[in-house]
């Protein structure tokens, strides 16, 4: 018995030792795996080469099963494999690793998911064998309703709601579909296999290689993809139809839609078929894939997504119905398609190394889409319209709460916030500025070289600058670093001094405060004529341009299809302090005593200009005389408005300038005039409400000549720009309370209610009527509101739905505004479309909207907090206010209700409120402004 006791004791001791050892090992593993938490980037000791991925989406229960094997390279000694995974269940026992050289099978000691960091850590007993291996595992996930990762979108067939499975992986949501190295730099090839119901269409990046059917299911195997980043992988499974065309080299291009909507895809198909060969020639590289599919998705958070070979779109950004869609919808489809197809080269073939360089993708695609549209539709004057993109960037980048183009990303949740006007529109603007400086030909040669050098690879901003410098011989990095690595932009003040122009640059801030930024400035200017045009590279804060004479060579100006000019650049004498640039090489003298001077010719530079009183007066005369081109008229007006916001010029100066636009006919300039008018009226409503009526009368009289020229009926030979302009002008007149226009709009609306096919209310002016009706809706008379909801419920065209949604908040009755906002949370409105209601809220409804947001914040966050849409709720509602008290209230609310991914948006919105508050005070204190407005309002 004693022996048995001793033996038992020995066994117990040994067992306790084993258990203790195992616990220590587990503790050590856990401690070591924690070393991978909180990191911005994944380790590079193990990298993927090829993914073999099988997915089985279960559309009825919104789940999916997955099976993955990844060929990896183990490049340094490690016991760990770390990759991304989120919202997935990994079957631990299914995880294995097999060395390709030794054929040895290894099973991980532990399989740990870290939800906060969205990583999967596989721990092994020993260092993994260096070389290639295959990693395998099985997993399960949910087809979520958040419009990201692998998600479900709903549609109806004969009144029955059904689900389709869709992916949206940018920026970092492939990890919600399958475990992967979910960073742009980890490029690999992909071999996809889908198991789907036999009656569903299954699409992925590549063409179908094989399809195996049985009674209820089919297995669809796709060809292996080229090397690409995970965020570009795409899958769509649903009931779809398509129309098809082929490029000259035989590539298939298809537009997929819900059943019965393919006719709405014809315009987008035509744009794609014409754009692909244009880009192939411009980039010097053929479209890299054997096919291109474009799919209209019913539920889609962004406008579109450039997945390699399988581009997905919100319906309104791809489909065009000749009867229901407006000219503006047509232009949007064309621009969005051109943007996404540009990414097939710039973004997909050559990919940013990390999200810091997001602007390279988005800014470039934005710029080059205008290049393509100008080629396809020169009559649209798209390069004139490009200045509207620049203004959007100006308005965000004038905030202290802006950010540099190249912004450090500390967590994946921060990425969504930089998909903004800085990355897209400022990025596009500085690309255009650089192209103008280098010249279109050299710039294109540089891009061809860049794509050839980095195809199927990753690149950084500096890589592009390096190639462009090699090709052009210009100091591209020096120039562009000042625009990408610091936020903000300059305002160039110019004064006339004898026979010279004295210029000084300083950072523009909408707050009126002084910034400390300094830029290498590619300055363009002309004197008295567009034939006398020069460009300088200005490095100092202060410079003197002595322009007594201009070189005859500078008159050889070639206007290129890209909307830029080949300009003779002067030699740049490097000097300390002020530099004098003397033009004394020809017999043609420039008379600075009387000639007008325009800086930033064609608005191709990303800076504003402040002229002294004499030069500003000459520019007003030049505009009246028709001497300035449309882009420059736009620039003078918008720059003056921006200086008024910053309290660098009085409102009376801006109003005097607006007077000279009475005979304006250009679409883009008139859009600037109406936009500036909206903004002035908003401030006036808070600063001097008694003067608002006179101001509205003044603005209406400015717009009426062009509105009456166009009338309500389209001419048979009417151009695209006039079609867009009519609706914008009439809508502005309705907003400004022009009684004749309001009454006519309501009359046409009544005719439309009686007959949906009436010619009295075509698509281009339908929003005018909807707004006119809603402006008179009250809680005691909601007939117009109910009529619009009826139209919304009857149509299946997304552009008509958004048209209704964008006007139902236009009532001046707070109770009606609250009801419209409640409607956006109903099941009748897709999440993607909710933001349209926010865009149309009246000034009188802003307090009701803010109260609604506070009351419903929990619901709004739960529904939209995981998508980029949440920022629209905040900025659209919060930015409408104009007092410090309200700014403090907003700050207190979000301090108490903080959430990840919204800090930058909240900060920007509050800053806008404080800026408007200061402008309101400035207007109130401006001497004689009430009399000035009254005088303007009395003019006919």
CB 97 within 8 A of CB 105: yes
Quote the CA–CA distance of 569 and 551 in Å, as a whole number: 10
DSSP 589-607: B--TTT--EEESGGG-SS-
DSSP 142: E
Q: Out of 315, 340, 414, 664, pick the active-site residue.
A: 340
The C-alpha angle with vertex 680 and arms to 674 and 685, in degrees rounded to 5, equals: 125
Alpha-carbon gap, residue 224 to 226, rounded angstroms? 7
**DSSP assignment of 324-389, as one string?**
T--HHHHHHHHHHHHHHHHHTTBTTTEEESSGGGHHHHHHHHHHHHHHHHHHH-GGG-HHHHHHHH
Secondary structure letter of residue 781 according to DSSP: B
Please indicate whether residue 340 is annotated as part of the active site. yes
Burial label, 569 (beta-carbon count in 10 A; 0-12, 13-18, 19+) = middle
Token pair 């005088």: residue: 935
Q: Is 885 one of the annotated binding-site residues?
A: no
Angle (nearest 5°) at CA 677 between 672 and 682: 130
Torsion region of 933: left, alpha or beta (phi above 0 gives left; psi -120 to 50 gives alpha): alpha
Scanning 455-571, the segments in alpha helix (DSSP H) are 461-472, 476-484
Helices then strands, each counted (H, E), the chain: 29, 33
Cis peptide before 436 (omega within 30 of 0): no
Distance, in Å, from the CA atom of 749 to the CA atom of 791, rounded to the nearest integer, reads 11
**SS3 label, residue 52:** strand
> CA–CA separation, 79 vs 739, rounded Å?
76
Q: How far apart are CA 536 and CA 517, in angstroms?
A: 19
Q: How far, in Å, CA of 628 to CA of 527, rounded?
A: 11
Q: Which helix (DSSP H) or strand (DSSP E) does residue 610 occupy?
A: strand 608-611
The 3-state DSSP class for residue 852 equals helix
Handedness of CA 734, 740, 746, 751 (dihedral sign): negative
Does 786 belong to an annotated binding site?
no
Q: How many Cβ atoms are within 10 Å of 60's Cβ, its own excluded? A: 9
Is 720 annotated as ligand-binding? Answer: no
Query: Residues with catalytic annotation?
Result: 340
Binding-site members are 339, 343, 362
Annotated binding residues for Zn(2+), as ranges?
339, 343, 362
């Amino acid at each position: 018995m004693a022996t048995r006791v001793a033996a038992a004791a020995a066994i117990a001791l040994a067992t306790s030792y084993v258990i203790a050892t195992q616990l220590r090992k587990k503790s050590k593993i856990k401690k070591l795996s924690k070393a991978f938490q909180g990191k911005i980037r994944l380790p590079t000791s193990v990298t993927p080469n090829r993914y073999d991925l099988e997915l089985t989406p279960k559309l009825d229960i919104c789940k999916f099963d997955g099976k993955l094997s990844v060929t990896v390279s183990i490049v340094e000694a490690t016991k760990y494999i770390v990759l991304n995974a989120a919202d997935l269940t990994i079957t631990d026992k299914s995880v294995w690793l097999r060395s390709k050289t030794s054929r040895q099978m290894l099973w991980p000691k532990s399989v740990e998911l870290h939800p906060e960091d969205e990583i999967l850590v596989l721990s092994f007993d020993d260092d993994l064998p260096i070389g290639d291996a295959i990693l395998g595992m099985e997993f399960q996930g949910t087809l979520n309703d958040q419009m990201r990762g692998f998600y479900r979108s709903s549609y109806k067939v004969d009144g029955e709601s059904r689900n389709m499975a869709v992916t949206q992986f940018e920026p970092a949501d492939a990890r919600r579909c399958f475990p992967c190295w979910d960073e742009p730099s980890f490029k690999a090839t992909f071999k996809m296999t889908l198991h789907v119901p036999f009656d569903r269409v299954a699409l992925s990046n590549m063409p179908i290689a094989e399809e195996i059917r049985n009674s209820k299911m089919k297995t669809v195997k796709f060809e292996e993809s080229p090397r690409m980043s995970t965020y570009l992988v795409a899958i769509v499974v649903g009931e779809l139809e398509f129309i098809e065309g082929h490029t000259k080299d035989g590539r298939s291009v298809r537009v997929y839609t819900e059943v019965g909507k393919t006719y709405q895809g014809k315009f987008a198909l035509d744009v794609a078929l014409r754009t692909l060969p244009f880009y192939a020639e411009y980039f010097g590289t053929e479209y890299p894939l054997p096919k291109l599919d474009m799919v209209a998705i019913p539920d889609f958070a962004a406008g579109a997504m450039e997945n390699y070979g399988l581009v997905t779109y919100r319906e309104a950004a791809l489909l065009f119905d000749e009867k229901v869609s407006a000219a503006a919808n047509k232009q949007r489809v064309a621009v969005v398609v051109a943007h996404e197809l540009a990414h097939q080269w710039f973004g997909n073939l050559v990919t940013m190394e990390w999200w810091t360089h997001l602007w390279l993708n988005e800014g470039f695609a934005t710029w080059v889409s205008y290049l393509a549209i100008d080629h396809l539709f020169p009559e649209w004057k798209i390069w004139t319209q490009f200045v509207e993109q620049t203004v959007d960037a100006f308005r965000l980048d004038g905030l202290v709460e802006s950010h540099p183009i190249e912004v450090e990303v500390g967590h994946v949740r921060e990425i969504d916030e930089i998909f903004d006007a800085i990355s897209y529109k400022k990025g596009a603007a500085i690309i255009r500025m650089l192209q103008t400086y280098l010249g279109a030909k050299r710039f294109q040669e540089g891009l061809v070289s860049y794509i050839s050098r980095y195809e199927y690879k990753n690149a950084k901003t500096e890589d592009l600058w390096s190639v462009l410098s090699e090709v052009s011989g210009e100091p591209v990095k020096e120039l562009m670093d000042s625009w990408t690595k610091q936020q903000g932009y300059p305002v160039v003040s110019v004064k006339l001094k004898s026979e010279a122009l004295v210029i000084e640059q300083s950072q523009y801030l909408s707050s009126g405060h002084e910034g400390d930024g300094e830029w290498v400035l590619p300055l363009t200017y002309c004197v008295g004529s567009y034939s006398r045009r020069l460009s300088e590279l200005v490095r100092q804060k202060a410079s003197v341009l002595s322009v007594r004479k201009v070189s005859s060579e500078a008159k050889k100006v070639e206007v290129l299809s890209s909307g830029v000019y080949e300009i003779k650049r002067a030699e740049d004498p490097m000097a300390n302090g002020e530099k004098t640039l003397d033009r004394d090489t020809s017999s043609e003298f420039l008379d600075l005593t009387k000639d007008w001077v325009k800086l930033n010719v064609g608005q191709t530079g990303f800076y504003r200009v402040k002229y002294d009183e004499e030069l500003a007066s000459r520019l007003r005369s030049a505009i009246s005389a028709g001497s300035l081109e449309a882009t420059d008229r736009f620039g003078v007006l918008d720059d003056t408005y921006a200086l008024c916001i910053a309290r660098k010029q009085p409102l009376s100066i801006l109003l005097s300038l607006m007077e000279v636009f009475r005979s304006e006919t250009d679409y883009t300039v008139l859009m600037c005039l109406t936009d500036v008018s909206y903004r002035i009226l908003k401030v006036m409503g808070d600063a001097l409400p008694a003067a608002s009526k006179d101001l509205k009368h003044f603005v209406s009289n400015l717009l009426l000549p062009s509105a009456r020229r166009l009338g309500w009926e389209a001419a048979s030979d009417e151009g695209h720009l006039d079609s867009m302009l009519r609706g914008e002008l009439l809508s502005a007149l309705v907003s400004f309370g022009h009684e004749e226009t309001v009454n006519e709009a309501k009359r046409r609306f009544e005719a439309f209610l009686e007959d949906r096919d009436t010619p009295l209310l075509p698509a281009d002016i339908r929003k005018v009527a909807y707004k006119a009706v809603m402006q008179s809706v009250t809680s005691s008379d909601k007939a117009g509101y109910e009529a619009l909801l009826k139209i919304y419920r009857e149509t299946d065209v997304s552009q008509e739905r958004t048209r209704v949604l964008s006007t139902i908040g236009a009532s001046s009755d707070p109770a009606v505004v609250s009801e419209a906002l409640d409607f956006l949370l109903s099941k009748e409105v897709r999440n993607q479309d909710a933001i349209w209601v926010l865009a149309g809220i009246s000034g009188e409804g802003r307090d009701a909207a803010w109260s609604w947001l506070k009351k419903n914040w929990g619901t709004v966050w739960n529904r939209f907090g995981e998508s980029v849409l949440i920022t629209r709720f905040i900025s659209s509602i919060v930015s409408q206010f104009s007092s410090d008290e309200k700014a403090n209230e907003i700050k207190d609310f979000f301090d108490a209700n903080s959430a990840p991914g919204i800090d930058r948006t909240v900060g920007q919105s509050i800053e806008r409120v404080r800026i408007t508050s200061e402008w309101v005070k400035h207007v109130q204190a401006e001497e004689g402004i009430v009399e000035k407005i009254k005088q303007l309002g009395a003019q006919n």
